[in-house]
Amino acid sequence: MRLGDFNVKLVNGGNFRLDGGAMHGVVPKTIWNRLVSCDDQNRVEYATNCLLIEGPSGRVLIETGNGDKFSEREREIYGIDHDHSIEHNLRELGVAADSIDFVVMTHLHFDHSGGTTRNTDGKVAPVFNRARHVIQRGEYADATHPHERNRASYLKENFAPLADAGLLQLVDGEQEIVRGLKVIPTPGHTAHHQSVLLDDGNGHKLLFFGDVVPTSLHLRLPFIMAYDLDVVGTLETKRKLLDRAAQERWLLVFGHDVVTTAGYLGQDKKGQWAITEPVDLK
Tell me the pLDDT tens digit for each residue of 81-119: 888 899 999 999 999 999 999 999 999 999 999 999 999
> CB–CB of 227/20 below 8 Å?
no
The contacts of residue 189 (CB under 8 Å, 6+ apart) are 107, 210, 211, 212, 225, 227, 228, 229, 234
- Checking if the pLDDT of 62 tops 90, the result is yes
Q: Where are the alpha helices (DSSP H) in the chain?
A: 20-24, 29-32, 72-77, 86-92, 110-113, 137-144, 160-164, 231-248
pLDDT for 122: 85
Cα separation, 49 vs 280, whole angstroms: 12
Break the chain into its structural domains and give their ranges. 2-278
This model's pTM is above 0.95: yes
Q: Where are the alpha helices (DSSP H) in 11-114?
A: 20-24, 29-32, 72-77, 86-92, 110-113
> For 2-278, which CATH superfamily applies?
Ribonuclease Z/Hydroxyacylglutathione hydrolase-like (3.60.15.10)
The contacts of residue 243 (CB under 8 Å, 6+ apart) are none
* Tens digit of each residue's pLDDT (9 = 90 or more) over 158-212: 999 999 999 999 999 999 999 999 999 999 999 999 999 999 999 999 999 999 9
Q: What is the mean predicted confidence (pLDDT) over 134-138?
A: 98
Q: What angle do CA 24, 257, 190 make, to 5 degrees?
A: 55
Cα separation, 128 vs 20, whole angstroms: 32
- Checking if the pLDDT of 121 tops 90, the result is no
pLDDT for 120: 86
Cα separation, 114 vs 277, whole angstroms: 31
SS3 of the chain: helix, strand, coil, percent, to 5: 25, 30, 45
- 237 falls in which pLDDT band (50, 70, 90)? very high
pLDDT for 282: 82
> CB–CB of 193/211 below 8 Å?
yes
Cα separation, 1 vs 48, whole angstroms: 19
Burial category of 231 from C-beta neighbours within 10 Å (exposed 0-12, middle 13-18, buried 19 and up): middle
Cα separation, 139 vs 190, whole angstroms: 8
pLDDT for 83: 80
